[in-house]
Amino acid sequence: MKLLKGLTSVGLTFSMLLSLAACSSAPQQSAPTAAPQQPAAQTPAPAETPKTEPAPAAEKVKLVYARGKDSTDSTKKLVEAFTAAHPEIEVEIREMPSDTGQSHDQYVTMFSAQSSEIDVFDLDVIWPAEFAQAGYLLPLDRLMEQDQIDTGKYIKGAMDAGNFGGQQWTMPKFIDAGLLFYRKDMVKEAPKTWDDLIAQAKALNGKDGFKFGYLMQAKQYEGLVCNFVEFSAAYGGKILDEQGNVAVNNPGTIKGLQKMMEIVKSDFVPKNITTFTETESHTTFLEGQSPFVRNWPYQFAMAQDQTQSKIVDKVAIAPLPAGDAGSAAALGGWMGGINKFTKHPKEAWEFLKFMTGPEGQKISAVHGGLAPTYLPAYDEADVQKASPLFANKDFVDGVSAAVSRPTTPIYPKISEVIQIEVSKALAGQQTAEQAAKNMETQMNALMKK
């Protein structure tokens, strides 16, 4: 899935740098050598002062920052800006595998051995709970309070993704979120609600060259979970509650799934919609076959590329339609965390704070095309110039509505349950009520293991 697509700076290819990470060995900090003391003279001359040797300068602390390959120069510029402000700290950038699963497994191997070879590292938004419970992350609450970090200035869903067990374990770096793309030459006004979208999709289906009315990701894979989370949250549903207890069998989740089923079973989506991932969705939309598609921000740049799109300059974006509880978008993106076993926690925090703070996020947006999680960054002229999306209120509103997927150490297993039971419902093999009940039973069983 393309949750991990990062926006490149100019082309805005939100090609999710979800392969962001890297590793290395961090040298231990050397304590400054104390100045040698002169032995006291037995009969010192009244006018003389004991001589001392000048203390040698303290050695630089070297941090290792692990992340994935960065095809832009944003990481280099970020590190340069940080070390200019903190000349006593050196930061080495190490690359992790492009495959996020491989990166995850390498981190687990490293941290399970209590290795201190990296200090600060990037995490997929679905990793923090797992890593926190395993004891791989340094808790940040005390440090954030000490430096008066205003979490209210960050996108709530992005900040929430790093909170587990009532503690904050990571800081949000950049965000990715589901959006509604539509043909502005054919659609006068973007639909505000899911019922509005259904009405417009029906009206446009089969007309003006459109073969379909709406496109989404409905294949049994992680993208289906994202779509389900969006429908559930839009109608007030939850998968887990604030305490991490299973809460999926509730009226909001059931109503959201029913709306999802209504769309999938309609005649304005492709008959094989349950085979659609992001690739099928954007390909069909860019060929001009549908007025609407739900997808990630990476698609915006593709829509403006004449080599890939038949609808250049005809596409606009909007927040996903609202249900009874408002608009909701599944959260993607990456976080930054500190290795619990780092030898340099103070310096690691300084780097993480800078990287995820106002200046660091501005650098990442301007030079890397990454959508900030720090909301005031969108008011910066340089950030708005970096991408047409960053100056677009609908984009900012859309990502601000992002909600995290279930925050749990056993997320992969929870995701599998959702994929299977929602797929059965979309295939007409069970009702939304049955799907919710089955998910509840299986999730509770997993939680007890």
- What's the pLDDT at 56? 55
CB under 8 Å to 113, separation ≥6 — which residues? none
Higher pLDDT, 351 or 52: 351
Mean pLDDT of 192-200: 99
Question: Taking CA 393 as the corner, what is the angle to CA 389 and CA 395, rounded to the nearest 5 degrees?
Answer: 45
Distances (CA, A) of 134 to 107, 129, 165: 12, 9, 12
Torsion of CA 339, 341, 344, 350, to 10 degrees: 20
Is the same domain home to 256 and 354?
no
- What ranges make up the beta strands (E) of 18-177? 61-67, 89-95, 120-124, 163-164, 167-168, 171-177
Helices (H) and strands (E) in the chain, counts: 16, 13
pLDDT band at 449 (very low <50, low <70, confident <90, very high): confident
Is the same domain home to 192 and 302?
yes
Contact 179, 398 (CB under 8 A): yes
Domain for residue 39, yes or no?
Answer: no
CATH code for the domain in which residue 16 is found? 3.40.190.10
Domain for residue 32, yes or no?
Answer: no
Q: Is 146 exposed, middle or buried (0-12, 13-18, 19+ CB in 10 A)?
A: exposed
Mean pLDDT of 324-351: 98
* pTM of the predicted model as reported, rounded to 2 decimal places: 0.80
Is the same domain home to 172 and 190?
no
Is the same domain home to 144 and 291?
no
Q: What is the share, in percent, of the chain residues with pLDDT greater than 70?
A: 87
Mean pLDDT of 378-395: 95
Is the same domain home to 138 and 253?
no
DSSP string, 407-429: --TTHHHHHHHHHHHHHHHHTTS
Mean pLDDT of 42-55: 45
Domain for residue 152, yes or no?
Answer: yes
Among 376, 396, 416, the domain-final residue is 396
Query: DSSP letter at 389?
Result: T
Is the same domain home to 219 and 346?
no
Alpha carbon distance 189, 277 (integer Å): 26
Contact 29, 389 (CB under 8 A): no
Helix (H) or strand (E) holding 203: helix 194-204
pLDDT band at 53 (very low <50, low <70, confident <90, very high): low
- What's the pLDDT at 71? 81
Is the same domain home to 244 and 290?
yes
Is the same domain home to 194 and 323?
yes
The boundaries of the domain holding residue 236 are 177-330+405-448
Mean residue pLDDT across the chain: 89
Alpha carbon distance 232, 228 (integer Å): 6
Domain for residue 87, yes or no?
Answer: yes
Domain for residue 286, yes or no?
Answer: yes
CA within 13 Å, CB half, 93: 17
The string of pLDDT tens digits covering residues 275-286 is 999 999 999 999
Number of structural domains (the chain) is 2
Domain for residue 78, yes or no?
Answer: yes
Is the same domain home to 315 and 356?
no
Q: Residue type for 93, please? A: I
Is the same domain home to 305 and 342?
no
Domain for residue 48, yes or no?
Answer: no
Alpha carbon distance 8, 428 (integer Å): 40
Is the same domain home to 110 and 160?
yes
CA within 13 Å, CB half, 315: 31
The string of pLDDT tens digits covering residues 149-192 is 999 999 999 999 999 999 999 999 999 999 999 999 999 999 99
Is the same domain home to 321 and 198?
yes
The string of pLDDT tens digits covering residues 62-91 is 999 999 888 889 999 999 999 999 999 999
